[in-house]
Amino acid sequence: GWCPLSPTGAQTTQLLVEPPWRPAVLWDRVTLTCQGSGTAGATTWYRNGQCWGQEGPECLTVTESGTYTCDRPCTGRSPSVTVSNARLVLQVPVQELLEGDTVTLRCR
């Protein structure tokens, strides 16, 4: 694969969650998108630390609960995202929250 030169402060691989709520729950039809540099279609997915699929797509619709990470050729392994099959959850938006912020909670 081909890796572009990265600017100062190397990029990292990110794992985006849709819908954007934490914790992610299986019955929400969660889609994970792996963002990072490198050849398109060269994403490696991991579930519970085990290789889940190599040279796969950048997007994955989750059908099983577990802890997911992805790896891109140039930017490495992403932080993990846990998808639960809990029946009752208190969810917060995925965005970073700071003290004093107003936040919407979901009890589902």
The domain that holds 50 is classified in CATH as 2.60.40.10
Per-residue pLDDT of the chain (108 residues; tens, 9 = 90+): 556 555 544 578 999 999 999 999 999 999 999 998 876 678 999 999 999 887 778 899 999 999 999 998 888 999 999 999 999 999 998 888 889 989 899 998
Domain membership of residue 8 (yes or no) is no
Domain membership of residue 7 (yes or no) is no
Q: Domain containing 71: what range?
A: 14-107
Measured between alpha carbons, how far is 16 from 68 in angstroms, rounded to an integer? 11
Domain membership of residue 82 (yes or no) is yes
**pTM exceeding the 0.85 threshold for the entire prediction:** no
The confidence score (pLDDT) of residue 4 equals 59
**Number of domains the chain is built from:** 1
How are the residues of the chain apportioned to helix, strand and coil, as percentages rounded to the nearest 5? 5, 45, 55
Measured between alpha carbons, how far is 22 from 90 in angstroms, rounded to an integer? 8
